Amino acid sequence: MKLSTIETRQGGPSQRQVRNWDWIWKIYAPPKVKHFIWSCLSNALPVRSQLQHRKLLDEAFCLRCGNGDETIVHCLSTCSYARQIWALSNLPYSSYSNSSFDSESWFNQVRSRLDNSDFGFFASLCWWIWYSRNKFMWEANDIQPLILVNSVREFHGRFVSSKSILKPPAPDRSSTSWSPPSLGFTKLNFDAAVLNNGAGIGIGIVARNSVGDSEATAALQAVQFGLEFGWSQVIIEGDCSNVIKGIMNRETSFCYLGALHTVRENNRVAHLLAKLAFVDFDFAFSCDLPSEVFEIVLSEYL
């Protein structure tokens, strides 16, 4: 359970309040949306009212509509631009807010009236409204409300679709399993996933030591991955035999480059990472693996 500790002053010594914001991390939305909602509740979003409070601005009025100070609630809800977004969203509950609300009261009000999926869509809309605000402020690029709402529908729909395939199968200890490389070598597993409509691909690469066309793109990225990290002895492993044969016929700058074909069951980590690429285009990590991936990695070393 994740708790947030907030200091408040009420005419005397500071008092510490502990609020349970565990629900934030259960929002049906990508991680960056969850962190954005946390920033809103923590009053960490650099809206103009916050910047004025910190003596960084003389005025706090909203530059987009000019109708009131730019607070978090104003930016995301009561600004005329935001109201157009909510009117086009077709959410079962009108997400406008009274300007006297603080962000936590507003989120709690909306959360009480939407199911988990709709609230995830609502949270994603908030993230995109903030993204559009920054594009307007710093690039003079005003995203039209209808274009933004359609972008969020695609963004959230891609996330919902990917969640249905993220649960890994239970490890079958009786079948063959992934095997680590010899001491001193690094093994790079790769895989690719293709959207049903063929509009894009996701690429998964995982590097571990001893303790189709889209497949070729994933393999190429795996080789580049190894070069960028400066590994000299590398084994490339994937479940596409034609790509493996192609790698073996190419010259590289590695001291040693081996290529192994394996079955899909032995390539589950790279396969799941490829699926995760559809959740968020910016999704990337090095050592901090998602829990569903970490469980497979751990089982393969046991």
Mean pLDDT by groups of 10 residues along the chain of 302 residues: 43 52 90 93 92 92 92 92 91 60 87 89 95 93 93 89 59 59 72 63 65 52 67 70 66 59 70 62 51 61 50
- Indicate whether 125 and 222 sit together in one domain: no
Question: How confident is the model at residue 132, as a pLDDT?
Answer: 95
Question: How confident is the model at residue 240, as a pLDDT?
Answer: 66
Residue 233, SS3 per DSSP: strand
CA–CA gap between residue 244 and residue 115 (Å, rounded): 46
pLDDT per position as a tens digit, 222-281:
666 666 667 677 677 776 676 667 666 666 655 555 666 677 677 776 776 666 665 554
Question: How confident is the model at residue 72, as a pLDDT?
Answer: 93
Question: How confident is the model at residue 56, as a pLDDT?
Answer: 92
Which residues lie across from 261 on neighbouring strands?
A: 238
CB-count burial class (<10 Å; 0-12, 13-18, 19+) for 31: middle
Assigned domain for 175 exists = no
Which residues, in sequence order, are CB contacts of 41 under 8 Å at separation 6+?
4, 21, 24, 103, 104, 107
Assigned domain for 40 exists = yes
- Indicate whether 16 and 98 sit together in one domain: yes
Question: How confident is the model at residue 39, as a pLDDT?
Answer: 92
Which domain, by its residues, includes 88?
3-163
Asked if 199 and 281 count as a contact pair (C-beta separation under 8 A), the reply is: no
CA–CA gap between residue 8 and residue 31 (Å, rounded): 28
Number of domains in the chain: 2
- Indicate whether 155 and 75 sit together in one domain: yes
- Indicate whether 116 and 202 sit together in one domain: no
Helix axes 116-139, 145-163, angle to 10 degrees: 140
CA–CA gap between residue 103 and residue 1 (Å, rounded): 21
- Indicate whether 34 and 159 sit together in one domain: yes
Question: How confident is the model at residue 90, as a pLDDT?
Answer: 87
CA–CA gap between residue 17 and residue 6 (Å, rounded): 5
5 is written with which tokens? 């500790």
Interior/surface letters 43-61, b for 16+ CB within 10 angstroms, e for the rest: bebebbbbebeeeeeeebb
How many beta carbons lie within 10 A of that of residue 204, not counting itself? 24
Pick the last residue of a domain from 129, 163, 197: 163
Assigned domain for 254 exists = yes
